Structure 1
Amino acid sequence: MANAHSHDTGSHGSFKSYMIGFVLSIILTAIPFGLVMYPTFSKSATLVLVLAFAVIQVLVHLVYFLHLDRSEAQRNNVIAFVFAGLVIALLVGLALWIMFSIHTVMMAH
């Protein structure tokens, strides 16, 4: 029986890749923090920028810490992640749509 705890060293990142991910994570946290603490844009523009930096930071974490890439070995993991993201987006989006619709109908009376 094969060892269930054997690790493939090729799938793990190097110190350099972890440091790149760490530095990018700090930068992608500091910029939105600065945008909120020292407002230079409108509230809606700041919100869009913070959300954009959040999406970029999720991608950085997936690539540098979870080692998801476009390789054949990671294809199933990427598909599972995209499917989970789609399900979460649908659940949250449809729940907000239902709550907004209920609020609109209740306030009309």
Structure 2
Amino acid sequence: MGQNNTQANQHAHSGFPWSHVFGFILSLALTFLAVYVALYTSLPLSTILTSIIAMALAQAALQLIMFMHLKEGEGVTQTIAVIFSFFIAIVTVVGTVWIFFSM
């Protein structure tokens, strides 16, 4: 049984990583689209911010799925790791905003 899993993993990781290339190109497209919306459009500020936040969330989900292999993990350990990562990210952002506004 263990030998079958090893063979399946070797087969799954052989060949060119097209999904990683696709994820990278999509990440670049989302980044350049956000820059274009921010710098070269005359949309209202609230629309620009909303679109940038939507693209940032899409890129975060894309990177979790494509590069962090979120859908390939096993149960509780990966879930706890993702929750802890979100906690660290939220603490970092909230702490930074708090420091900026308290200066």
State the TM-score bracket (shorter-chain normalisation).
0.5 to 0.7
Mapped pair 1:84 → 2:96: no
The aligned counterpart of 2:42 is 40
Give the whole-Å Cα distance in 2 for the aligned partners of 1:39 and 1:54: 18
2:20 to 8, 18, 21: 18
User: RMSD of the TM alignment (CA)?
Assistant: 3.0
Question: SS in structure 2 opposite 1:66?
Answer: coil
Comparing both structures, which one devotes a greater share of its residues to helix?
A: 2
The aligned counterpart of 2:94 is 93
TM value normalised by structure 1: 0.63
Give the whole-Å Cα distance in 1 for the aligned partners of 2:20 and 2:89: 28
2:58 to 31, 36, 56: 56
The unaligned stretches of length 5 or more in structure 2 are 1-8
Aligned length: 94
Q: Which amino acid aligns with 1:51?
A: I
The aligned counterpart of 2:5 is none
Please tell me whether Structure 1 or Structure 2 has the larger radius of gyration of its CA atoms: 1
Give the whole-Å Cα distance in 2 for the aligned partners of 1:23 and 1:15: 13
* 8 Å CA contact retained: 1:12, 1:67: no
TM value normalised by structure 2: 0.65
Structure 1 runs (4+) deviating above 2 angstroms are 8-14, 90-100
Q: Shift in Å at residue 98 of structure 1?
A: 8.5
The unaligned stretches of length 5 or more in structure 1 are 1-7, 104-109
